[in-house]
C-alpha cells in the first residue's frame, strides 16, 4: 500500500491474490488491509491537508496536476495492460481510457487556480461581505473494478484541484493499476499524505474508511446495494457522500432515425466492455414499425462479435470480470426467459470460449414491468421493448428506479430535445451514445446516485462555502438584536 508517501505492508501483514479473469489464474499479490490501515491513511491525509498541501496555492496545485498528467500519458500503455490483466476488459478499451485520463488532470489543473468565492453587495453600508470556496478536507474514495483508473480520476483530479487530500480504496478485484498510479504520484512529487492508497476487502477496509471520524467526504462508485450501505454508515457520522451507482439506461428509437447509426450505437452501448459499464444502454425501446429492421441488424452484428483474449487487438468482447458476475448475468437471462422474453441471439455461456464468456445476448418481447426491463444486469444483455406513441416511449423509458443515462434516436430536432427533457436521466445523448468528457457533469438520480462528477460541478462537490462579514466603520450595535 502507499500511505504518507511510503510503501508499506498491511498492518496485519496479510496479502491476497488478484486473479486475471481471462486465464482465471492469480497474477498479483496485494496487501490485504483493515481498519488499522484505514486509520493510518486517514491521519496522513489529515496532516497533509492541515499542513503543506493545505497551504499551497491553486497555482501550485495546478502544477502538480499537470506533472501527474504527463506521467500518466507517458505510461498509458503499461497502466492499461495492468487494468486488463486485473479486470479482463479489452486492452483497446482500457488503453482508450488511459489515453484520455490526462485530459482530466489537465482540465482540473486549469480549474485549480479558479476556485474562488464572490463578493456580495451588503444591504448595510458598513459591511463588506465575501465568500470563500474552501476544500472539504479529507476525502475517502471507493471505486469499482470496471474502469478503475478512469473512475478514480473523476474523483482525484477535482479533489486535488479543490485542495483536498484523499484515501483511495480500489476494488478488491482490481487493486494493481491504482498501486501503479501511486508510483506515478510519487514520481510527480505529490507531497506525502496527499494521496494514499489502501488495498483490501470492501466490507472490512471499505467500511472502516466510510465510518472513520476523520473523513470529511466519501466519494463512492459502485452498486446501489453497497452504495446504500455506504450512505447509512457515513450518515451515522453525518459525513456527506457522493454516490455514482448503477443504471438501466434506455435507447429510445423513433421511426425516422438513421437505422444503421442506431444499430451501431446500440451495439456500442451494450456490448462494449461486455456490458460491464454503468451507462450500458441495456434497454432498447423502439417504435414497433421499425423494430424488426433494427433488431435484425443488431442481432446480425452481435453474432459477428469476436470474443477472445482481451489483450489481442482484434478482440471485440472479453470475459466477465469474475465468477459472481457470470452467475448473476446467467440468472438474469434465465429469469427473463421464464417471464416470457424471447432469445433473439445469445443467451448462453460461450460454447467456444467457456470460462467467464457470455454470448452477446438480445432478448426480444420484453415486458416493461419484468425484472429484465428494470434491474441492472451489468453484462452483455439487451432487453428489447416496442412502443406505439411518444408518450408510451417516455413512460417505458422512465419505468425504472435508475436514472443515469439515455439515448434518443430521431431526425426530428424538436422531438429530440422534447424527449430528452422528459427522460429521467443525468445524461441524455441524442443520435449518439456513451460519450463522456472532463468538462461535462456526470451522475444520476434515484437508484443511480447522488451528486455529480466532472465539470465545474465536481469542484463544488469538493469545496464548501464560507461567508465572511467585515465591519468597516467600527460601529457598535444593539447586542440583543439580529442584524
- From the candidates 82, 83, 164, 278, which is the catalytic residue? 278
Other Cβ atoms within 10 Å of 330 Cβ, number: 18
Assign residue 455 a region (left: φ > 0; alpha: ψ between -120 and 50; beta: otherwise): left
**Minimum separation from the CB atom of position 208 to ligand NAD (A):** 8
Choose between 165 and 174: whose C-beta lies nearer to ligand NAD: 174
**Which ranges in 75-124 belong to alpha helices (H)?**
76-87, 91-112
Choose between 178 and 370: whose C-beta lies nearer to ligand NAD: 178
314 is an active site residue = no
- Please, which residues have CB within 8 angstroms of residue 276's CB and are 6 or more apart in sequence? 89, 146, 320, 321, 325, 378, 379
DSSP string, 331-343: HHHHHHHHTT-EE
- Residue 394 grid coordinates: 417516455
Choose between 32 and 316: whose C-beta lies nearer to ligand NAD: 32
**Minimum separation from the CB atom of position 226 to ligand NAD (A):** 3
**Minimum separation from the CB atom of position 308 to ligand NAD (A):** 23
- Residue 247 grid coordinates: 443504471
Q: Which H/E stretch holds residue 134? A: strand 127-135
- From the candidates 83, 93, 207, 244, which is the catalytic residue? 244
User: Closest Cα to residue 430, out of 278, 252, 294?
Assistant: 252
Is 32 within 8 Å of 10 (Cβ atoms)?
yes
Q: Residue 481 and residue 473: Cα distance in Å, rounded? A: 19
Choose between 231 and 259: whose C-beta lies nearer to ligand NAD: 231
Choose between 235 and 340: whose C-beta lies nearer to ligand NAD: 235
Is 167 within 8 Å of 209 (Cβ atoms)?
yes
Q: Cα dihedral sign for 303, 308, 314, 316?
A: positive
Residues at the contact surface with ligand NAD, assessed by CB under 6 A? 142-146, 151, 169, 171-172, 202-203, 206-207, 210, 221-223, 226, 229-230, 244-247, 278, 376, 378, 404, 449
Choose between 133 and 424: whose C-beta lies nearer to ligand NAD: 424
**Minimum separation from the CB atom of position 165 to ligand NAD (A):** 19
93 is an active site residue = no
Is 230 within 8 Å of 220 (Cβ atoms)?
yes
**Minimum separation from the CB atom of position 112 to ligand NAD (A):** 23
**Minimum separation from the CB atom of position 481 to ligand NAD (A):** 48
**Residues that are catalytic:** 244, 278
Amino acid at each position: 500500500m502507499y500511505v504518507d508517501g511510503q510503501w508499506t505492508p498491511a498492518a496485519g501483514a496479510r496479502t491476497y491474490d488478484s486473479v486475471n479473469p481471462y486465464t482465471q489464474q492469480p497474477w498479483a499479490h496485494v496487501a490485504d488491509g483493515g481498519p488499522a490501515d484505514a486509520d493510518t491513511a486517514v491521519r496522513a491525509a489529515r496532516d497533509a491537508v492541515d499542513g503543506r498541501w493545505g497551504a499551497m496555492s491553486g497555482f501550485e496545485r495546478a502544477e502538480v496536476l499537470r506533472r501527474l498528467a504527463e506521467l500518466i500519458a507517458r505510461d498509458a500503455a503499461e497502466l492499461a495492460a495492468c487494468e486488463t490483466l486485473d479486470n479482463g476488459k479489452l486492452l483497446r478499451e482500457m488503453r482508450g481510457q488511459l489515453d484520455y485520463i490526462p485530459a482530466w488532470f489537465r482540465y482540473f489543473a486549469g480549474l485549480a487556480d479558479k476556485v474562488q468565492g464572490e463578493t456580495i453587495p451588503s444591504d448595510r453600508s458598513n459591511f463588506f461581505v465575501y465568500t470563500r470556496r474552501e476544500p472539504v478536507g479529507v476525502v475517502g474514495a471507493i471505486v469499482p473494478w470496471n474502469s478503475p483508473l478512469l473512475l478514480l480520476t473523476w474523483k482525484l483530479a477535482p479533489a486535488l484541484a479543490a485542495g483536498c487530500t484523499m484515501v483511495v480504496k480500489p476494488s478488491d478485484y482490481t487493486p494493481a493499476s491504482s498501486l501503479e498510479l501511486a508510483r506515478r504520484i510519487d514520481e510527480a512529487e505529490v507531497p506525502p499524505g496527499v494521496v494514499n492508497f489502501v488495498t483490501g476487502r470492501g466490507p472490512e477496509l471499505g467500511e472502516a474508511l466510510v465510518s472513520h471520524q476523520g473523513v470529511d467526504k466519501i466519494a463512492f462508485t459502485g452498486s446501489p446495494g453497497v452504495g446504500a450501505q455506504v450512505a447509512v454508515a457515513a450518515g451515522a457520522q453525518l459525513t456527506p457522500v457522493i454516490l455514482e451507482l448503477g443504471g438501466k439506461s434506455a435507447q429510445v428509437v423513433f421511426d425516422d432515425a438513421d437505422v444503421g447509426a442506431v444499430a451501431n450505437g446500440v451495439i456500442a452501448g451494450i456490448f462494449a466492455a461486455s456490458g460491464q459499464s454503468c451507462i450500458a444502454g441495456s434497454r432498447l425501446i423502439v417504435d414497433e414499425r421499425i423494430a424488426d429492421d433494427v433488431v435484425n441488424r443488431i442481432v446480425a452484428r452481435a453474432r459477428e462479435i469476436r470474443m477472445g483474449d482481451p489483450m489481442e487487438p482484434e478482440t471485440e468482447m472479453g470475459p466477465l470480470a469474475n465468477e459472481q458476475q457470470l452467475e448473476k448475468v446467467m440468472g438474469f437471462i434465465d429469469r427473463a426467459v421464464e417471464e416470457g422474453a424471447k432469445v433473439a441471439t445469445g443467451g448462453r455461456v460461450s460454447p467456444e470460449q467457456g470460462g467467464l464468456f457470455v454470448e452477446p445476448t438480445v432478448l426480444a418481447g420484453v415486458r416493461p414491468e419484468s425484472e429484465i426491463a428494470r434491474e441492472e444486469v451489468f453484462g452483455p444483455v439487451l432487453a428489447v421493448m416496442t412502443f406505439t406513441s411518444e408518450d408510451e416511449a417516455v413512460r417505458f423509458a422512465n419505468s425504472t428506479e435508475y436514472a443515469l443515462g439515455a439515448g434518443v434516436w430521431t431526425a426530428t430536432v424538436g422531438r429530440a430535445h422534447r424527449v430528452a427533457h422528459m427522460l429521467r436521466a443525468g445524461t441524455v445523448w441524442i443520435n449518439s451514445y456513451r460519450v463522456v468528457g472532463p468538462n461535462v457533469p456526470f451522475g444520476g438520480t434515484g437508484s443511480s446516485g447522488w451528486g455529480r462528477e466532472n465539470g465545474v460541478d465536481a469542484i463544488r462537490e469538493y469545496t464548501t462555502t464560507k461567508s465572511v462579514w467585515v465591519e468597516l466603520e467600527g460601529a457598535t450595535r444593539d447586542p440583543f438584536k439580529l442584524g
